[in-house]
Amino acid sequence: MERRAYTGRNKEKKRVLRRSGKTPELHCMLIPTHRETLLLPTSAMAEVVDYTAPRPAEDAPPWLLGQIDWENRQVPVFSFGALINGTGPDEVSRRARIMVLKSLTDSTRVP
């Protein structure tokens, strides 16, 4: 099956080829936060771990809670709600979890 798509800038034709008749799928998860719901591709999720209080970072913004050890790495922990709302973090509930995300690119800076 062949479809033609048009780019928005110069209206050139682009060919979009599909090997099968199926529509491409993106597998995602809805992640509930305190007030918001986050939609993430499952390929970005490395692991979900029980909440442990992170070691605080010096001179950090309020949304950066600190760091935890995960698989022999220092992983930053932040409050998604505080980051997008520009507020301080809410109190951590007993049911809180830490979601470890991974990069979807082949970055050499951050594994």
Task: Report all structural domains of the chain as residue ranges with CATH numbers, in order of start.
Answer: 25-101 (2.40.50)
Exposed / middle / buried, residue 65 (Cβ in 10 Å: 0-12, 13-18, 19+): buried
E strand segments, the chain:
2-6, 13-17, 28-32, 37-41, 45-50, 64-70, 73-78, 97-101
- Per-residue pLDDT tens over the stretch 46-100: 999 999 999 998 999 989 999 999 999 999 999 888 888 888 887 888 888 999 9
Higher confidence at residue 109 or residue 97? 97
What per-residue confidence (pLDDT) applies to 99? 92
What per-residue confidence (pLDDT) applies to 19? 66
What per-residue confidence (pLDDT) applies to 1? 44
- Given a cut of 90, whether residue 11 has pLDDT beyond it is no
- Per-residue pLDDT tens over the stretch 23-54: 778 889 998 877 788 899 998 899 999 999 99
Q: How far is CA 82 from CA 64, 86, 92, in A?
A: 9, 5, 12
> Which residues fall within 8 angstroms of residue 111, CB to CB, at 6 or more apart?
73, 103
